[in-house]
Amino acid sequence: MTKLTQEDKKIHGTTILAVRHKGKVAVAGDGQVTLNTTVIKHNAKKVRRIYKDQIIVGFAGATADALNLFDRLESKLDQYNGNLTRACVELARDWRTDKFLRRLEAILVAVDASKMFLISGSGDVIEPEHGILGIGSGGSFAQAAATALVRHTNLDAKTIVQEAMKIASSICIYTNETLTIEEIGEYEQP
């Protein structure tokens, strides 16, 4: 009998894609969770709305860790009156410096109607240059597909994330086509 290593026991999976295009931002996450070489769940929800439904977050990594981080981000949003930039910076600072939080194994995408950030435990708060951000095992495939679709089609943000995630799922064995998609529009200018 083969003994599993810590790496073998790790839960793999997740592709999260965020696209800002044509006045809207859409965030999609696949539903597959894989343990070693076995798919153990097909319909996990890795994308959700927080803070009065004004912020969409998605995660890659350990579920319990990500849910803890979602709660902490929402607390920061409450503390800073919904200012996503400030909340993300403060969460990343805490995540990097707190002894307990440093052990959390996840990466987050957080978007509102005007901002989009990748947040990591190493203190990164990165706003993508072109409004497209992919994370997780199939994130680079989904991001590349979305970039091509934004440049060469007339599709809306939601359709772009759907199609790009289908492409990622055809390449990445840790990504499936069972998607959770959330979408918000940009604030209207007065």
**pLDDT per residue over 161-187, tens digit each?**
999 999 999 999 999 999 999 999 875
Sheet holding 47-50, edge to edge: 47-50, 55-61, 106-111, 116-120, 125-126
- pLDDT tens per residue, range 93-128: 988 887 777 777 788 999 999 999 999 888 899 999
pLDDT: which is higher, 140 or 69: 140
DSSP secondary structure letters along 36-75: TTEEEES----EEEETTTTEEEEEEE-HHHHHHHHHHHHH
**Lowest mean per-residue pLDDT among 8-17, 38-47, 70-79:** 8-17
* 12 — pLDDT class (breaks 50, 70, 90): low
Residue 152 pLDDT > 80: yes
Superfamily grouping for domain 7-184: Aminohydrolase, N-terminal nucleophile (Ntn) domain (3.60.20.10)
- Percentage, residues of the chain above pLDDT 70: 91
Helices H / strands E in the chain, number of each: 5, 12
Catalytic positions: 14
- Cα(185)–Cα(42) distance, integer angstroms: 29
The pLDDT assigned to 14 comes to 84
- Residue 78 above 60 pLDDT? yes
On the question of pLDDT at 190 being above 80, the answer is no
- At 99 the pLDDT is 74
Contacting residues for 41 by C-beta, under 8 A, at least 6 apart: 31, 32, 33
Residue spans per domain, the chain: 7-184
